[in-house]
Amino acid sequence: MNEIKRNVVIIHTDEQVWTFLGCMGNEEIQTPNIDELAAAGMLFNTSYACSGVCVPSRACLLTGRYPIAHGITCNVQTLPDSEKTMGHYFSAAGYRTGYFGKTHYGGHDNDMPLDGWTDSFIWQKQYNDYLRKNGIDIRYPEGREIKHPEMRYWNVGSSNIPYEHYFEKVIADRAIDFINQNKNDPFLCFVGNIAPHNPFSPPKPYDTMYDPDKLSIEPAYEHELDNKPPAFVRWVEQNRKYTSERELRIYMAHIYGLISLVDVQVGRIVKALKDANVYDETMIIFTADHGDFSSAYGIIGKSWCMDDRLMRVPLIISHPEFRNARKRSDKLNENVDILPTVMGYCGLKIPFAIQGKSLLPLIEGKAVCHKDAVFGYNYFYDDKNHLNQTIIRCGSWKLVQSNDFKGELYDLKNDPRETVNLIDRPEHATLVSELREKILRWHIQYSGLTVSDDAIEKCWEVYSNFYDENNFQG
């Protein structure tokens, strides 16, 4: 390991649209601390998750490997014991490793040392124990008790948990304690926020921070469901039953409040690094696992497609050697690239099993390109549905190849909202063939484990009664 002590802090949100930050040009949301982090580092405009749902995406980030390699392709699977995570690599290198917050990556949630984490405070059990010890008789995540009077189905409203004991505040407290306790030793700190994922219930004052009537929602586009996969059309049409325009605005106000709540914790963590005199030797990363429709197509949620609103994620890397450089990058990258980046920064050897590519040469100005293409993969099945999708983005072109549809081709330069599927245009036939060949070669090169046949009945689409509006619970 390098003689220079180098630390890493990763701040991770759940289901955050990549444009929901002030530094990404959003003038309606207040994220001053994250914006400052971007100003003191590199902001990546075209970062992709390798899956559009929680567990596979986190597994990619923590292993540096694609879903087709580590075998996690939906939310109910677990990582094989043969897979090594970020915690394993850093603890083996002598680092103190802390994981605070939502895990949900298919690892050992109830025995974090098995995944290399020397310190941890994880979501449901430990946080619920914390609430009880502090005299708060509320089970988290909050459910039916959270109900805005204008929301028919979704659990959107004000939390009954005060800010001082709210999840994002508590895990930031734990991260700050970890930083202070390990300031003389190299450390890796992972902060896994649940926000802005449901429950959409920010505490006061964040619950009323935004006026729904003053927020923008995604416009509807004429024929926006034309030439789309049948499963996705079915998903959208069913989802639209649960959200009116007014409900979408109320929802947006609450998730913006949750993001601003996270932003305050980012500021607290950065201040703690400065107070502990380790800020100048710490790489700080802000990112998310995937996005959300958040009013696009008139719906909430994610599933059944690989739209950029789901697949693109925010990524900020604040690096001590060029802070205040105010850099932006439009280079394509994937969340599998984060692990080799932090390992390279800390002087750890990057093993062959890691499939991502370090962003350090790009950050340090030693490279002008990173990857010519990025990929993502989704796989889901139950007794009524079978979804198997791969995406490739190459330049401004994006191809989505599905098991039950002819495909989707989008020119993101001229059609960033993916409103016109060009797959049938004869002038693009050669391009489609080339992209399909790249997808095939990607599968051949990186496939590791076969897709698991774990029980699927725990999947949200099944247990939520999504296709029955009389029983639906958001």
**Which tens digits make up the pLDDT trace of 11-28?**
999 999 999 999 999 999
Query: Beta 327-329 vs 405-411: how paired, if at all?
Result: unpaired
Q: Which pLDDT score, from 0 to 100, does residue 473 have?
A: 64
Q: What is the pLDDT of residues 345-358, one digit of tens each?
A: 999 999 999 999 99
The alpha carbons of the chain give a radius of gyration, in whole angstroms, of 21
Query: In the structure, what pLDDT confidence band is assigned to residue 3 with cuts at 50, 70 and 90?
Result: low
Q: What is the pLDDT of residues 243-260, one digit of tens each?
A: 999 999 999 999 999 999
Domain boundaries, the chain: 7-372
Query: In the structure, what pLDDT confidence band is assigned to residue 461 with cuts at 50, 70 and 90?
Result: low
- Neighbour-count burial for 191-220, b at 16+ CB within 10 Å, e otherwise: bbbbbbbbbbbbbeebbebbebeebeebee
Residue 171 clears pLDDT 90, i.e. is over it: yes
Residue 324 clears pLDDT 70, i.e. is over it: no
Query: In the structure, what pLDDT confidence band is assigned to residue 1 with cuts at 50, 70 and 90?
Result: very low
Question: Which amino acid makes up residue 327?
Answer: K
Query: In the structure, what pLDDT confidence band is assigned to residue 450 with cuts at 50, 70 and 90?
Result: very low
pLDDT-above-70 percentage for the chain: 93
Quick one: average pLDDT of 52-72? Answer: 92
Q: Does domain 7-372 have CATH number 3.40.720.10?
A: yes
Query: In the structure, what pLDDT confidence band is assigned to residue 465 with cuts at 50, 70 and 90?
Result: low
Question: Which amino acid makes up residue 467?
Answer: Y
Q: Which pLDDT score, from 0 to 100, does residue 161 have?
A: 97
